Amino acid sequence: MVATPPILHEVESTFAFTVNGSQVRLSTPPVRRLSRVLRENLGLTGTKVGCDAGDCGACTVLLDGDPVCSCLVPVAQAEGHEITTVEGLANRPPLFDRLQNSFLCHGAAQCGACTPGMLVSATALLEQNSAPIEIEVLDAIGGVLCRCTGYRKIVNAIVDVGIQSSAFSSPEAGHAVGSRMVRLDGASKISGSEIFGADEVPADCLSVRAIRCPHHRARFRFGDLDRYVATHPGVHAVFTSKDVPGIDRYGVIPDFADQPVFAHDEARFRGEAVGIVVGDPDAIEALNPSEFPVSWEVLDPLTTIDAALSSEATQLHPDLHRPNNVLTGGRVVRGDVDRALAEADVVVEDEYETGFVEHAYIEPEAGFARPIGNCIEVQACTQSPYMDRADIAKILGLAPEAVRIIPTAVGGGFGSKLDLSVQPFVALAAWHLNRPVRMVYSRIESILSTTKRHPARMRLRAGANRAGKLVALDFTADFNTGAYSSWGPTVAKRVPVHASGPYVVPNYRAVTRAVHTHLVPAGAFRGFGVPQTAIAQEQVYDQIADKLGIDRLEFRILNSLEDNTPTVTGQVLGEGVGIRACFEALRPHWIAAHQAAKEFNATIPGPIRRGVGIAGMWYGCGNTSLPNPSTIRVGLKPNGRIALHQGAVDIGQGSNTIVTQICADAMRIPIDRFDLVSGDTAITPDCGKTSASRQTFVTGKAAAMAGKKLRDAMSALANVSGEDATLTLEDDALIVEPTGRRVGLTAFPLDAHGYVITAEATFDPPTSPLDENGQGLPYAVFGFGAHMAEVAVDTDLGTVKVLKITAAHDVGRAINPTLIEGQIEGGAAQGLGQALMEEFFPGKGENLHDYLIPSAGDMPPVESILIEDPSPIGPFGAKGIGEQAVIPTAPAILNAIYDATGVRIRRVPATPDRVRAAILASRGGPSHA
Amino acid sequence: MQSPGLSQITWGQPPSAVRRSAAPQREASGETRQSAPRPVQTGITRIKIDGKALPERLLRLFALGGPTHLYFQPRTLEEAVQTLATHGGQILSGGTDFYPSLGERAAPGDVIDISRVAEMQGVRIESDHVRIGGRTTWTEIIRTPLPRCFDALKAAAREVGSVQIQNRGTVAGNLCNASPAADGVPPLLALDAHAELISIAGTRRLPLSEFIVGNRKTLLRSDEFLSAVIVPRDLDDAPSAFLKLGARRYLVISIAMVAAVVKLDPRETITQARVAVGSCSVTARRLADLERDLVGVAIARGWTSRVSANHLRPLSPIDDVRGTAAYRNDAALTLIRRALEACTEAH
């Protein structure tokens, strides 16, 4: 090339474009993702980042009016263009006002992490087409994944955008319970202003990148870490296991705590952290982890239950008493199973297997820590602030009071955010460096390192007599619990209590084991092993009904638990056993669906075969035979408002709203008088973890009790007798009706909490320990339900389309029917995924295009039927619904596949290749799987 | 030709923003490794270039704390090929494969962003061929009126990822990425498409079947762009169909897919057929034996049963998380029959 005379020319990396109607000009690297520029350079955190790969659509923005994934747009390509984020949609009234209102009224936002992407996508559609039909809506939002709602309320909210709704009117005093009121935290979820784990960054904050083991099992050795730090500009420090000041062994169940913050010498699973690099955000963003000085010596991993149980197997935790890598087991025995099976008229024996399932919430784990004097604050997404506090205190060697956990909004949890993720890393780094430190998991990192649903291998023998009564069930199951205990013990203990299903089984033996392997820890995932169990138990019961020649629904009705029949642990609930009512409510749907399927199959020849399946479910609310109290504090403020310290973390399910509805009605005070105080451990008492479907029941009950207490105290303050008085609140005064007497509130001295009066109540569900045969009272309240699935199977391709799910649930009392439907629809979507497409293979496909969760196009309509058979203990009779909603879905779909095709799927998910192989095998041809 | 004139590139010392790290350590904190305070690079950096003045915004610098890289944004094809020839770099167009391929790594070295190259935009219908510019997105394919034989390509365009991906991802990028599961390849193979490759040395054309040679392997040289996809108009009015099989609706990588184009004479007899199968071998494949056997077949009830497992011999599917090899063969057979039926039913 010919040299030309030098001309000094300066080029700056500055970019000018329009964001939400305003011109912006900024200096940034040109390849920086637009999503990152919007969030970090411009502070527009309404745009969420779920995968950085175009797989989830959470980061959708409009580029010149067209929806795009902003994670795939280099900022250089935005130059000169017009970008609209969720924050800018407000500039587009009246369409966007109507859309937001419709989202609120339909309950279309649960956790809210997908909501900005949904709203932006919907706006793009509605600006072209003001009255879209369903398929057009599905095409428009098909690129945005949602893990909470099951999509149907989103689809309906968009289709119904033109219809006004009245759900905004706040219920009157005493009428909050049962109301379909809009969720109290809804407004921030539909405006993009909600603060999730990654949405706040303190000034002068450093970033963290974890160095993770790329092998299932490896011994490792570090190189010169000091030199690494010294030679990497912007890197401030590296921390490894040597830097853990306190007890380096944490876990959600203290007696089983076994997980180190960083692996020591040997990593036990692919994705386990061995160290963290802390530095300036730009340096960490640009970090190349392959330059980190660590060498790996790959060791033979145990990846299957059988390998781990073999007598020669390496022990994962030789220092703990876990012989044969068995973490722990569970056992429930009643009657004489062997004899009853020997005498049974029909016996069915079968085996089932399930794989790892990923939670796949849209918000990857994120948060920050900062030192405040001799204390440390951790603000992160979590389902369990007080448990986090205990473990972080232990890890740092601090008193629990020196640790403050500030839970952010949680962009989906489903059990995995009960365990620590970013918290120990940011807390440790902030503590050592004495400045704020944040960490945001990538999607890959989230899938690699956080807990999964336990893979299960289950064997069953069930027997019944000619009269159609179940006489016995013999159930054994092994669960692959991965490298660390997490919630493995809970799964092992809970499953034997539930494996009978909601039926009378007089002779029963259920034995389980949780087995360690060198794989990602399996932990809590909506149902603690019971969804796996139901897949086996409900398919076996169908086979028994068929052998007996009894209709599959009638067989279940015939065997349903009743108020006065003992469960497999010998518990007689006495009241509130609504399973029979659920099945009976489904009966007309069952008959009609079978008729429709039969007609279709008879009149339309070809490869598509339709079928109908049903499954029942029961699920105990709260911890299994263990204390799990919630404490609610409620205070009367001098301005006549009520402060509700609501520590039940709302992970999208609606506890902020439900608990307030309960408290408001317990006080008979209108809900718009309430101010919610979050689950910050410095200001709000412990409401336990958001898990085990316990918040409506346990925290709700505590809220009812605290509300009643405050009301009684207010009556005393006004010098009236409690029950009969009508009390209302005005600004600065308590009014006693019917006299209209005013009791001014500003004159009273404030108590230690800053309130005129404070009331606090604690509720711990009454249970009793299980004896050596698992007999006792494991739960005070159970939820009951049944799902019916209608499917169409393409028998030539093995694909399954679910046409409709009809769900009947005994919720005791529907505190907020819209939120309950949201739980049912979202649970049904997760169950559909579990049945048809979801399996995580460690080491293969740690992303959201190889790991598939249902998209909007996979979810059929869900019809919810709410049965209210009140619990004598629950607040206003309410029971839990969160986990109950997922459990009967997969077995109903699998039973429907059998009904359609005559093939039984014993290994889930029922992917097209497995279904097709089973069909070919059933025809006697070559099976190709 | 206007040259980017990159004879020599140097850059000045970036403004040093010295950040002093950390207050004194506490006793409880144990041993920590900390570097001394040092200058760090920030996003605001200036570069000085000795040489001919550059077209504005042709070149930008980016430094992400690590090594400094160059980002070129040529406005013309000439600038683009010059830059590629004289400097090289990774090509970035719609970004829908560029970013996912990074995984957890930071952005790669030097980048040539071709999104502003004017000559590569749009679809042109010429007398004997259709020219799909190298910057044409899937959404443009869907929105552009095209001859009937393009129905399969339009159907494939609607199946690419999601609306968001269709709005950014390009046909050319899909071909260059050369995934075995690239949605665009079977329909373009069935259209006998050619890839037009341009470099400073000139342009050349390769049949698509020769251009893609393996799993993410093409014959694209490091000094070349795929400037356009050329489709001959010899089957304009022939009906075509595309079927994609995945484990979910939307955002799905196919387990198997089939594109077919069938030309019939007035007596409903096949005069020409083209069938391509994707996701069932390292590259999508045309089934030559099948295409030959279909010529002369009269459309009558059950005619697609002539398609047999033997016709699938060019395929070599694998087992992966999406399905078994045996299943792929089995499903491909069904999809081929259905795609052929769809073509003739639409006739």
Taking residues B88-95, what's their average pLDDT? 95
pLDDT value of residue B106? 78
DSSP state of A857: G
CA distance B260 to chain A (A): 18
Q: Do B111 and A434 touch (CB under 8 A)?
A: no
In this predicted structure, what is the pLDDT of residue B67?
Answer: 57
Of B295, B292, B290, the closest CA to residue B307 belongs to B290
Amino acid in the structure at residue A896: A
Percentage of chain B exceeding pLDDT 70: 80
For residue A444, give the 3-state DSSP assignment. Answer: helix
B131, B214: one domain: yes
* H helix runs in A257-376, sequence order: 281-285, 305-309, 337-343
Substitution target in B35, B252, B338 with the highest count of A β-carbons within 10 Å is B35
| Nearest by Cα to A850 from B275, B213, B251 | B251
B141 and B171 both lie in a single domain: yes
Which pLDDT score is estimated for B110?
A: 87
- Residue B70 placed within a domain: yes
Within 8 A of B44 by CB-CB distance, chain A residues are: 12-13, 27
Q: Is residue B30 part of a domain?
A: no
Q: Name the β-bridge partners of B263.
A: B272
Q: Do A67 and B19 touch (CB under 8 A)?
A: no
Interchain contact B40–A (C-beta under 8 A): yes
Alpha-carbon dihedral A100, A103, A105, A107, rounded to 10 degrees: -150
- Judged on CB neighbours under 10 Å (0-12, 13-18, 19+), A50 is buried
Residue B10 sits at the chain A interface (C-beta within 8 Å): no
Q: What percent of chain B has pLDDT over 90?
A: 73
Same structural domain, B112 and B128: no
pLDDT score of A548: 98
On whether any CB of chain A is under 8 Å from the CB of B309, the answer is: no
**Residue A586, pLDDT score:** 98
Q: Report which of A683, A682, A680, A681 is spatially closest to residue A635, judged by C-alpha positions.
A: A683
Q: Are B75 and B56 in contact (CB under 8 A)?
A: no
Tokens of A640: 């006549």
**Domain annotation covers residue B79:** yes
Least confident of A674-688, B61-75, B183-197, B303-317: B61-75
Strand partners, B226: B197
- Does A242 contact chain B (CB < 8 Å)? yes
Q: Which domains does chain A have, with CATH numbers?
A: 1-168 (3.10.20.30), 206-301+360-449 (3.30.365.10), 456-623+772-922 (3.30.365.10), 630-763 (3.30.365.10)
Residue B216 shares a structural domain with residue B293? no
| Per-residue CA distances from B34 to A233, A439, A496, B40 (Å) | 12, 19, 51, 15
Of A74, A435, A844, the CB nearest to B321: A844
Looking at the structure, tell me whether residues B101 and B126 fall in a common domain.
no
Q: Tell me, yes or no, if A6 comes closer than 8 A to chain B by beta carbon.
A: yes
pLDDT of B61 > 90? The answer is no
CB–CB of A142 and B49 under 8 A?
A: no
On the 0-12 / 13-18 / 19+ scale of CB atoms within 10 A, A122 is: buried
Whether residue B261 sits in one domain with residue B168: no
Chain B, window 220-259: residues with a beta carbon less than 8 angstroms from a chain A beta carbon: 245, 247-253, 255
In this complex, the residue of B22, B63, B113 whose CB is nearest that of residue A434 is B22
CATH number at residue B107: 3.30.43.10
Three-class SS state of A191: helix
Q: Domain total for chain B?
A: 3
Counting one residue from A and one from B, how many pairs have CB atoms under 8 Å apart?
Answer: 308
Q: Quick one: pLDDT at residue B30?
A: 39
B40 — pLDDT class (breaks 50, 70, 90)? very low
Q: Please indicate if any CB of chain B lies within 8 Å of the CB of A60.
A: yes
| Residue ranges of chain A with per-residue pLDDT less than 70 | 1-12, 165-167, 722-723, 925-929
What's the mean pLDDT when you consider all of chain B?
84
Q: Does the residue B153 lie in any domain?
A: yes
Which helix (H) or strand (E) segment is A155 a member of?
helix A152-159
Is A502 an 8 Å CB contact of chain B?
Answer: no
CATH code of the domain covering residue B272: 3.30.390.50
Kindly give, in sequence order, each residue whose CB lies less than 8 Å from that of residue A442, ignoring residues fewer than 6 positions away: A52, A364, B104
Q: Is residue A461 within 8 Å of A341, Cβ to Cβ?
A: yes
CB contact under 8 A, B35 and A858: no
Task: Return the pLDDT at B109.
Answer: 81
- Find which of B90, B164, B200, B337 to mutate to test the A interface (most A CBs within 10 Å of its CB): B164
Query: Does B4 reside within a domain?
Result: no
> What are residue A189's phi and psi, to 5 degrees?
-75, -30
A243 touching chain B per CB within 8 A: yes
Among residues A63, A62, A160, the alpha carbon closest in space to that of A108 is found at A160
More confident residue, A632 or B50: A632
What is the distance between the alpha carbons of residues A2 and A895, in angstroms, rounded to a whole number?
76
Question: Which of A6, A69, A850 lies at the smallest CB-CB distance from B164?
Answer: A69
Q: Do B162 and A799 touch (CB under 8 A)?
A: no
List Cβ neighbours of B234 (8 Å cut-off, separation of 6 or more). B192
CATH of the domain at B136: 3.30.465.10
A30–chain B Cβ distance below 8 A for any pair: yes
Q: Does B334 touch chain A (CB under 8 A)?
A: yes
Q: Edge to edge, what strands does the sheet with B59-63 contain?
A: B59-63, B68-72, B111-113, B90-92
B28 and chain A in contact, CB less than 8 A: yes
- Considering the domain boundaries, does residue B14 fall inside one? no
Q: Which residues pair with A33 in a beta bridge?
A: A74
* Alpha helices, DSSP H, located in chain B: 77-86, 98-102, 138-143, 151-159, 163-168, 171-177, 185-190, 208-211, 288-294, 325-345
**Confidence check: pLDDT of B46 > 90:** no
Which of B5, B45, B164 lies at the smallest CB-CB distance from A54?
B164
Residues B100 and B165 in one domain: no
Kindly state whether residue B18 falls inside one of the protein's structural domains.
Answer: no
SS3 content of chain A, % helix, strand, coil (to 5): 30, 25, 45
Show residues of chain B in contact with A431, CB under 8 Å: 26, 28-29
Q: Over the stretch A18-52, which tens digit does the pLDDT of each residue have?
A: 999 999 999 888 899 999 999 999 999 999 999 99
Is residue A17 within 8 A of residue A37, CB to CB? The reply is: no
Structure tokens at A646: 């609501």
Burial-class residue A41 by CB neighbours within 10 Å (0-12, 13-18, 19+). middle
pLDDT of residue A927: 52
Q: Are residues B63 and B154 in the same domain?
A: no
| Domain match, B160 and B173 both | yes
- A602 CB within 8 Å of a chain B CB: no
Last residue of a domain, one of B167, B200, B232: B232
Report pLDDT for B33. 46
B253–A849 C-beta distance less than 8 A:
yes
User: Rounded to whole angstroms, how far apart are CA atoms A388 and A683?
Assistant: 16
- Look up residue A572 and give its amino acid: V
Record: contact A54-B161, CB cut-off 8 A? yes
CA distance B7 to chain A (A): 6
CB contact under 8 A, A72 and B98: yes
Residue B59 pLDDT > 60: no
- Look at residues B232, B265, B293 and tell me which one is the last residue of a structural domain: B232
| ipTM field | 0.95
Tell which of B93, B117, B141 closes a domain.
Answer: B117
Q: Which residues of B touch A7 (CB under 8 A)?
A: 49-53
Strand order in the sheet with A326-334: A326-334, A507-516, A470-482, A456-464, A346-354
Q: Does the residue B146 lie in any domain?
A: yes
Report yes or no: A785 and A808 within 8 Å, Cβ to Cβ.
yes
Is some CB atom of chain B closer than 8 A to the CB atom of A568?
A: no
Q: Do B31 and A857 lie within an 8 Å CB cutoff?
A: no
Q: Which residue of B has its CA nearest to A833?
A: B248
Sign of CA dihedral A542, A547, A553, A559: negative
Residue B86 and residue B179 share a domain: no
A556 contacts A916 by C-beta, under 8 angstroms? no
The range of the structural domain enclosing residue B97 comes to: 40-117
Chain B nearest-CA distance from A36, in A, is 13
Minimal C-alpha gap between A487 and chain B (Å): 27
With a pLDDT cut of 70, the percent of chain A lying above it is 97
Residues of chain B positioned with their CB less than 8 A from the CB of A77: 95, 113, 115
Same-domain pairing of B228 and B263: no
B93 and B145: one domain?
Answer: no
Return the residue of B nearest to A835 by Cα.
B247
